Amino acid sequence: MANPLKIVIAGCSGRMGHALLEAVFADADLVLHGALDRAGNPQLGRDAGEQFGIVSGVKLSDDVNAALKNVDVLVDFTRPEASMAYLAACQQHGVKMIIGTTGFSAEQKLAIELAAKQTAIVFAPNMSVGVTLLINLVQAAAKVLHSGYDIEILEAHHRHKVDAPSGTALRLGEAAASALGRNLDECAVYGREGVTGERDPSTIGFATVRGGDVVGDHTVLFAGTGERVELTHKASSRATFALGALRAAKFLSSKAHGLFDMQDVLNLR
């Protein structure tokens, strides 16, 4: 790139914020322009590079409007309520946005779609290149294993994750349902307990595990008679999500507006 992209990172004191900062500092095509976190955070006012032994000249702040002046892209992996506030600020300042937050309501997703008419947004529940490929593989498998195979999606995350199933698990379910001509809202089963009766072959089941420091494991199981096909992705570091998000930021450099996902970023459509 002729000129480095100017990046603002939201939620810098969190686990993903830490990974994003580290990735930005390591990329010569990017420059950190702003570092945001919630009001009252005791780290406000510190240099964003301090934890890496870097003097970046960018201090952690809760002033969104100041951070977004003359910026190219805001990268956000926070919570839905915070993301909505950042979205409104990006619309106001004409800043592009990468949204890796999960757990949005239908109304909040609609707000993201409407905002994309004014600015460019990459919105994906998982920014990993491997998971993006997995989505395509699940679609291909579902088209072949469309009869006689039960689909179950298993996911595991760390104890601090607040939404379940994960946004990635839901996206994988949507990929399978779409390939089969089904609506996930109508065929998903999110829990089983007691005498449930035989499994409805038209359903897609979800199982959730929360514990320890698991970064993120996802398996899509196609269980037939006499065989099983399992498609699995395991993340061992948040760096994979950070690198994918920054790849998405570079993708947006040529976009004026529109809503995109990682399939677009990787040219997999």
Nearest to 85 by CA among 125, 49, 53, 115: 115
Rounded CA gap, 247 and 253, in Å? 10
* CB-based contact 264:251 (threshold 8 Å): yes
Residues 33, 96, 157, 233: which is the catalytic one?
157
Instruction: Enumerate residues 6+ apart whose C-beta is below 8 A from 13.
Output: 37, 41, 43, 60
Residues 59, 93, 146, 161: which is the catalytic one?
161
To the query of whether residue 143 is one of the catalytic residues in this protein, the response is: no
Cis peptide leading into residue 201 (ω within 30°): no
Strands of the sheet with 216-223, listed across from one edge = 188-189, 204-210, 150-157, 216-223, 228-235
Residue length of the chain:
269
The two three-digit tokens of residue 74, written as one number: 């805001």
Where residue 51 falls (left for φ over 0; alpha for ψ -120 to 50; beta otherwise) is alpha
- Which residue bears the tokens 């946005």? 97
Rounded CA gap, 154 and 164, in Å? 11
Question: 8: exposed, middle or buried (C-beta count within 10 Å: 0-12, 13-18, 19+)?
Answer: buried
The two three-digit tokens of residue 77, written as one number: 């992996």
To the query of whether residue 59 is one of the catalytic residues in this protein, the response is: no
- Write out the catalytic residue numbers: 157, 161
